Amino acid sequence: MVKIIFLKLIVDIGNTRIKLALFKGKEIIRTTIVEEFTRESIDKFCKKDNFVSSIISSVRPFQEKEKELINLLESLVLDKDTLLPIISNYKSFVGSDRISAVVGASCLFPNKDILVFDSGTCLTMDFINKEKTYQGGRITLGLDMRYKALHEFTSKLPMLSTQKKSLFIGTDTKSSIISGVQQGILSEVLTLISDYKKQNNDFIVVFTGGDCLFFEKELKSSIFADPYLVLKGLNEILEFND
């Protein structure tokens, strides 16, 4: 007997990276990062595996060639009209990456109140309760953007990047920048978590995004980290709409 496997293609176009994933049910078969969303990149990634449905999420407008590819693939595009497996109390359209992360967290941790942090170009925080109702959140600068802002909006501060060690206090310009950026963002996150505990002591914290491993290392056992949370959320949204 021939076993037929139904695969789904997930495409997440972010500010700096384009992520592709193939899912079988709720299981990730494989993922990759590509420079462009093209038929060639899709074919190279999928190889001989055929997918029966697909979903595209993008934080930027689509180019004409991308629109043609979406039509060719008959993909579901995540937008303000897409049906979601959660309820949203947000007063405007939520960024596709934010809402996907929230959906992913809600499905991974059912019946839980959840703070979801997506640490990429921006650092976003979103709250969804155990009734699967999205309440809203915050948007601020991510690690790389903070380093870049210090360099570009001053005349003398050097351009640095995220370091493995987060210094509590700097002893020169370089270490002071590292301390300010990395300890600053950690303090911001910890204060926010602490403020939520004053209102609700029974919730979990989930991190995703390109810098989630930084926060996992620094915050240790107090959080859950899942770099594939957005992809998992997109898969859930696709299944909900199939």
Active site residue 97: yes
Distance CA 94, CA 136 (A): 9
* Catalytic residue, candidates 49, 79, 81, 97: 97
Contacts of 203 by beta carbon, 8 Å cutoff, 6+ apart:
112, 113, 114, 115, 196, 197
SS in 3 state form for the chain?
Answer: CCCCCCEEEEEEECCCCEEEEEEECCEEEEEEEECCCCHHHHHHHHCCCCEEEEEEEECCCCCHHHHHHHHHHCCEECCCCCCCCCEECCCCCCCHHHHHHHHHHHHHCCCCEEEEEEECCEEEEEEECCCCEEEEEEEEECHHHHHHHHHHCCCCCCCCCCCCCCCCCCCCHHHHHHHHHHHHHHHHHHHHHHHHHHHCCCEEEEEECCCHHHHHHHHHHHCEECCCHHHHHHHHHHHHHC
Nearest one of 214, 163, 210, 206 to 186, comparing CA atoms: 214
- List residues with catalytic annotation: 97
